[in-house]
Amino acid sequence: MEAVIFFIAAIGAVGGAIGVVAARNPFYSVLALIAHLFSLAVLFLLLTSAFVAAAQVVVYAGAVMVLYVFVVAYVGSAQEAKWDPVPGQRLFAGLLAFFLFVEISAAVLSSGLRALSTHGPDVPAGFGDPAAIGNLLLEKFLVPFEASSVLLLIAAVGAIVLAGRKRQGEALGASK
């Protein structure tokens, strides 16, 4: 049963990812991304990480995707350039991606990790539930947790600086 769900979710994830890059219409790209993120959430569930799966759906498939949709609707599907900005870029990028794929496959397949081809490690009860993650954030990872709050503050300040920039530019344009 687990294996069946895994393959359905895995195919969904890969298919969604391909859809994101392959779709011509940005809206379809965003929809494909949602499918991709949902499939990932299912994979997280299979790894007994209920909290991460929920966060994935709420934060990414929910909040972040709404932002994406807004941006796409706001900017509109402007005609994108059909030509490569750098000659041979697509071929080169494809080759690089292929080599990275081969490299990572080789690394994973030839790894000496013992649990790779088994059903996976036996996790203790309560592993990955919100309480356990909350404990981790406030015990082991207290510093990164606090630092992230400063990071968010800085990011908010940065957003205001850049938004203020546009206002000033408009004021400048109006005064001309």
Q: Determine phi and psi for 162, rounding to 5 degrees.
A: -70, -35
By CB under 8 A, what part of segment 146-175 binds another protein? 147-148, 150-151, 153-155, 157-158, 160-162, 164-165, 168-169
Task: Give the distance, in angstroms, between the CA of residue 134 and the centroid of all CA atoms in the same chain.
Answer: 22
Nearer to another protein, 28 or 130 (CB): 130
Structure tokens that stand for 150 in this block: 């400063």
The interface with another protein within residues 22-81 (CB under 8 A) comprises none
| x/- letters, 79..108, toward another protein (CB under 8 A) | ------------------------xx-xxx
**Residue 113: CB minimum distance to another protein, A:** 6
What is the rounded distance in angstroms from the CA atom of residue 105 to the CA atom of residue 169?
50
Which residue number, 4 or 124, has a Cβ lying nearer to another protein? Answer: 124
Q: Does 144 bind another protein (CB under 8 A)?
A: yes
Phi/psi of residue 43, each to 5°?
Answer: -60, -40
Token couple for 58: 């709420």
CA 129 – CA 144 distance, rounded (Å) = 20
Residues 6+ apart with CB under 8 A from 13: 36, 39, 40, 43
Shortest distance (Å) from residue 47 CB to another protein? 12
- Selected from 79, 110, 118, 175, the binder of another protein by CB under 8 A is 110
Tell me which residue has tokens 């796409």.
72
Question: Does position 132 bind another protein by CB under 8 A?
Answer: yes
